[in-house]
Structure 1
Amino acid sequence: MMSKTALLVIDAQVGLLEGPSIGPVYEKDKVLEVMQTVIRNARELDIPVIYFQDLDVGEDNLKEQEIHPMLAPLATDLLFKKKATNAFYMTNLQEALTELGIAHLVVIGCKTEYCVDTTSRSATVLGYDVTLVADGHSTTDNKVLSAEQIIAHHNCNLHGLDNVSNFILVRNSNENIFEHKHLEYKS
């Protein structure tokens, strides 16, 4: 069974990745390199790349609001501006995915416990299988947990999370992340 995949690049913005007001995220250089590779691989496979820009990031600094220059979208990529942690909320994402015939989403971006988590969980109840790239998302420390702990916690808890018939797999970027591996479990 063949299905169509899209890559979601969530809030890969200068203010989150570099700071200074919110970032830099944990292992910034490593996550930037992984995200850049994932985006390049998606384009080589003709997989749609869909970007999100959180309007709360850098609202007082337009430079921080920009998508990081190492990850900049092409004119052919979709770009959605959003105000909520859920990339589906008050955007046309659902319509765009339906029009493209997408069944599987690969997710990278920032911040792990907010927009990456919320969008991944929401996608499953909307009928999408999700591959969260374990080394392709990041965050910052909070008052209770280090960024490293937050990332590890989400990679552990989201792996296998299912809603009705769709679920999340957490896979490393060195795996074939664009393969809709979920189908092996549904046969």
Structure 2
Amino acid sequence: MTTALLIIDVQRAILTGLAHADRQPSIDARLDAVSARLGRMKRAAEASGVPVILVQHDGDTGHRLEYGTTDWLFRDEITPRHDTVVVHKRSCDSFHDTDLSERLAELGINHLVIGGCMTQFCVDTTTRRATSMGFDVTLLSDGHTTADFGSLTVEQIVDHHNCLLSGFNAGSKAVRVVPSEAACFLTT
């Protein structure tokens, strides 16, 4: 099994302005913790020779992730190296109108370890799509986050998606949800 680490939308302003003022500090603290965790995962993958793929959302003019602005940049914890694959997207699906599937094929990847931002949108959609496209997926239970959405808190959304996606399958391919400390990079 050849594995890659896929980190989705961990950008400077990914959660800016999405929470009520009283909740923003806890949303920001959670993003800091997830970003630090993903940064450690990224460095471990690189040290093991595991490919790292960063997905970056290219927002329209006026969007909080407007292409080319400082808010659009990746957070410092996951800054790309010269050999980091960067995929640009414009929708919740990291495969839609991108070269992600081609990049994975070039690398011979058949297993993705996934973390990132916007649990209920980009992480969920990409995880499901990867599975239906023939990849085994390990979703990092403590490696994705979002902001509160409607009456749901970030904690509820993350817990729900961890339960919902655990065991999701398409034929023989499935999602396994594990904490980052239990995730290992398989390169054989």
How does the TM-score come out when normalised to structure 1? 0.88
Indicate the residue corresponding to 1:89 in structure 2. 96
Counterpart of 2:78 (choices 71, 76, 88) is 71
- Asked whether the equivalents of residues 38 and 77 of structure 2 are also in contact (C-alpha less than 8 Å), the reply is no
Query: How far is the alpha carbon of 1:95 from its aligned partner?
Result: 0.9
The two structures, once aligned, show a CA RMSD in angstroms of 1.9
Structure 2 runs not aligned, ≥5 long:
none
Aligned residue identity for 2:14: L
Query: How far is the alpha carbon of 1:21 from its aligned partner?
Result: 6.2
- Asked whether the equivalents of residues 95 and 126 of structure 2 are also in contact (C-alpha less than 8 Å), the reply is yes
For 1:8-157, what aligned pairs fall within 5 Å after superposition? 8-16=6-14, 19-20=16-17, 24-25=27-28, 27-56=30-59, 57-59=64-66, 62-157=69-164
Query: How far is the alpha carbon of 1:20 from its aligned partner?
Result: 4.5
Cα distance, 1:62–1:129 mapped onto 2, change above 3 Å:
same
Query: How far is the alpha carbon of 1:45 from its aligned partner?
Result: 0.8
Aligned residue identity for 1:49: V
Structure 1 runs not aligned, ≥5 long:
181-187
Q: Aligned with 1:27: secondary structure?
A: helix
- Asked whether the equivalents of residues 2 and 186 of structure 2 are also in contact (C-alpha less than 8 Å), the reply is no
Query: How far is the alpha carbon of 1:96 from its aligned partner?
Result: 1.1
Counterpart of 2:185 (choices 175, 178, 185) is 178
Aligned residue identity for 2:107: L
Indicate the residue corresponding to 2:174 in structure 1. 167
Query: How far is the alpha carbon of 1:16 from its aligned partner?
Result: 1.3
Cα distance, 1:121–1:26 mapped onto 2, change above 3 Å:
farther
Structure 1 runs of 4+ aligned residues shifted over 3 Å read 20-26
Query: How far is the alpha carbon of 1:129 from its aligned partner?
Result: 0.4
Percent identical pairs in the alignment equals 37
Distance in 2 between the 1:177 and 1:76 partners? 21
- Asked whether the equivalents of residues 14 and 66 of structure 1 are also in contact (C-alpha less than 8 Å), the reply is yes
Q: Aligned with 1:177: secondary structure?
A: coil
Cα distance, 1:62–1:86 mapped onto 2, change above 3 Å:
same
Aligned residue identity for 2:176: L
Query: How far is the alpha carbon of 1:179 from its aligned partner?
Result: 4.2
Of 153-162 and 57-66, more deviation after overlay is shown by 57-66
